[in-house]
Structure 1
Amino acid sequence: MDFAFGPQDEELREEARAWLAEHLTGVTGARSRAGGRAWERELGTGGWIGLGWDRTHGTFGNRSATPAGQIVWAEEYARAQAPARLGHMGENLLAPTLLAHGDADQRARFLPAIARGEELWCQGYSEPGAGSDLAAVRTAAVRADGGRTYRITGQKIWTSLAREADWCFVLARSTGGSRRHHGLSLLLVPMDQPGRITVRPIRQMSGDAGFNEVFFDGAEARAEHLVGGEGNGWRVAMSLLARERGVATLAQQIGFAAELARVVGLARETGAAAEPVMRDRLVRQWAELQSMRWNALRNLGAGDDPGAGAVAKLLWGGWHRRLGELALQVRGAAAVLGPRDWDAARPYELDDLQGQFLFSRADTIYGGSDEIQRTVIAERVLGLPKEPRP
């Protein structure tokens, strides 16, 4: 396969570099809610949101780009070390899903606001009893107000950006007594419902609280905000998850390459790189990262193929966890020391590599555990017999 970029792609690369260099100057506080929102609006004004959307149903204020152009933008964004995106869920997950499964009114209502960077989204999938086994969802959605709304009751967990989001796309059980993937629906739920939606941050062992619990106590969703029809939530949800492993995976790998370069540099400083076993592990990490890139490029045309997504997640989850381990091993005993003396009156602090190690322990779990990815590959790609269900 030819993975080279054409002249048009290189022109877009130069434009992207110039725009980012100009607009990132003086950008501060983008990790905060207000700063992150301002940056999303800046991206929207520049037309950089939604480059990969299917334009059959309209432009929605964004510019057009080929798949190669989308890769160019994602890579340059990562290389510029631009702020983490608050609009990822809306742009890369919900928007393509609405283009594929939504109706004209839903696209007209939600896509322009996403393209302008004005509305942020979170994902209501996992539950305490339905993490990797998503078909075990128990959150209920019951018709109310003469069928004009749904009342949603239940709990979601590990919800990224729940405190920042304006809306949540929620997978809920809309048919009483249904089991597994039957009777599920995908609903678009406004988060600003005091007393009906409660968000609680989850403090992780790294000290961060990027994930949240979300409790729905009769939260309302309009019937016209049901995506793909009642009872079709499983099909829509699987289509959405397949899109999670697209161009963003390539941008993620730019960040991985920077992390690996830092670990290699540290190994040289500490002398760990002179050890044959450690040197072999570092080379292996580099080779595996190159293989992941070629695999991601090859799979860009896979569409909604769940096998492609499962392979990608299986590869990068294990790779990044091993890098987290290497990051501490090349430092030796100093890796367990904090940047300051312990003070019981305030939380401990971690440097970047220590935080990377702790967070990377979850890489093979969140977004679908390794066991689930292997099951998807076995059953849906290789055609092996399905695991027995209780």
Structure 2
Amino acid sequence: MDFGFGTEGEVFRREVREWLGTHLTGETDRRAWERELGRGGWIGIGWQEGGYGNRTASLVQQVVWAEEYIRSKAPARSGHIGEKLLAPTLIEHGTEEQKRRFLPPVARGEELWCQGYSEPGAGSDLAGVRTAAVLDGTTATYRVTGQKIWTSLAHEADWCFVLARTETGSRRHHGLSFLLVPMDQPGRVEVRPIRQMTGTSEFNEVFFDGAVAEHIVGGEGDGWRVAMSLLGFERGVSTLAQQIGFAEELRRVVRTAVETGAADDPVVRDRLVRQWAELRTMRWNSLRTLGGSGGESGASSVAKLLWGGWHQRLGELATLVRGAGAAVGPRDWSPERPYELDALQHLFLFSRADTIYGGSDQVQRTIIAERVLGLPKEPRG
């Protein structure tokens, strides 16, 4: 298989680099940057449909854009949940009215979204959600009550797509619906940031107390099918872009190993080489899958297993090559900044969650075993 990008890709790469070089100017507010991307038509280039303020691009061009974006060290995206998850789901399952209402604001970078799936008692076991939504027959709206957790960027979001139980007494994946809930509902929606061991708070708890939802995607009781379809969009082109960031982290770990003398240890050198070889293999596997020859069921689960464990091992290696210095805080510590990590410390701590979020390793192995290999299903209570 040809792993190159061809003339089309390289011409597009020059266009992308020129645009990013022109528009990336110093420190940029993340929300303002989303609007700048929207004005350039760069939000939604992977959507199956155009006409919402977005340009469309081939698969090769999507990969090029994602890779160059990471290489340019542009700000972390705050609109990716709306662009990469909600939008493709609406294109596949939403009504024309819903597409016209929600896709243009996402493409303009004006409305940000978060994902209301996991709950304290239903993380990897998503079918166990207990958040309930009751239809108000007078207003034809739903009243949502319950709690979601690990909700990325909820503190910035304008909207949340929520998996809720709309059929009283239903169990597991039956009786669920996919609702679109506005976050600006004082007294009905409360967001509480979760402080992580990295010192940051990207994740949140979200409490719904009779929150109003006017929009349902796919019809009442069809939430499980819609939710699973959305998860299918979660991986793909973004995995290749992610690997660009992984490569930079690996280079930083290698430099540190050389500087500290850890690279003189043959065992450490072997681990560094193994990390490099596995990263190259992940890239080739991702390209093969996107290219169509490896798109069999379970490919996304295989990819998640590969990169989750790889990144976690890299975090451990980052700590190993630094020795005792890995536990030391910054020299410019002050009471105003009591907890600030450098890049490698953050890598180690944050990567501990890589094998859990986005579908734990156990869940991914179960998917592969049952859906790909046809093995007997695990007993479920």
Which TM class, normalised by the smaller chain length? over 0.9
- Give the match for residue 39 of structure 1: 33
1:271-310 per-position Cα deviation (integer Å, ceiling 9, x unaligned): 1112110000001101111111111112226699661221
Superposed, 1:251-270 pairs within 5 Å as 251-270=241-260
- Give the match for residue 126 of structure 1: 118
- Give the match for residue 369 of structure 1: 360
Greater shift in the superposed pair: 285-294 or 332-341: 332-341
Task: Assess if the C-alpha contact under 8 Å between 1:143 and 1:149 holds in 2.
Answer: yes
Pairing partner for 1:90 from 38, 59, 82? 82
CA distance in 2, matches of 1:245, 1:338: 35
Secondary structure in 2 matching 1:330: helix
5+ residue gaps, structure 2: none
- Give the match for residue 16 of structure 2: 16
Pairing partner for 1:232 from 218, 222, 226? 222
* Change in 2 beyond 3 A, CA 1:306/1:116: farther
Superposed, 1:192-211 pairs within 5 Å as 192-211=184-203
Superposed, 1:219-298 pairs within 5 Å as 219-222=211-214, 225-298=215-288
Task: Assess if the C-alpha contact under 8 Å between 1:242 and 1:305 holds in 2.
Answer: no
CA distance in 1, matches of 2:297, 2:208: 29
Task: Assess if the C-alpha contact under 8 Å between 1:242 and 1:304 holds in 2.
Answer: no
Q: CA RMSD in A?
A: 1.6
Secondary structure in 1 matching 2:162: strand
Shift of 1:146: 2.7
Greater shift in the superposed pair: 341-350 or 261-270: 341-350
Paired letter, 1:374? R
- Give the match for residue 68 of structure 2: 76
Secondary structure in 1 matching 2:303: helix
- Give the match for residue 325 of structure 2: 334
CA distance in 1, matches of 2:138, 2:39: 40
% same residue: 73
TM-score by length of 1: 0.94
Paired letter, 1:14? R
Task: Assess if the C-alpha contact under 8 Å between 1:207 and 1:347 holds in 2.
Answer: no
Greater shift in the superposed pair: 123-132 or 338-347: 338-347
* Change in 2 beyond 3 A, CA 1:343/1:115: closer
1:22-59 per-position Cα deviation (integer Å, ceiling 9, x unaligned): 10023x1x4xxxx111100000100111111002xx42
Task: Assess if the C-alpha contact under 8 Å between 2:298 and 2:367 holds in 1.
Answer: yes
Paired letter, 1:272? A
TM-score by length of 2: 0.97
Task: Assess if the C-alpha contact under 8 Å between 2:289 and 2:295 holds in 1.
Answer: no
Task: Assess if the C-alpha contact under 8 Å between 1:151 and 1:219 holds in 2.
Answer: yes
Secondary structure in 2 matching 1:244: coil
Secondary structure in 2 matching 1:348: coil
CA distance in 2, matches of 1:51, 1:282: 36
Shift of 1:131: 0.2
Shift of 1:345: 7.9
5+ residue gaps, structure 1: none
Task: Assess if the C-alpha contact under 8 Å between 1:183 and 1:232 holds in 2.
Answer: yes
CA distance in 2, matches of 1:347, 1:317: 30
* Change in 2 beyond 3 A, CA 1:389/1:39: same
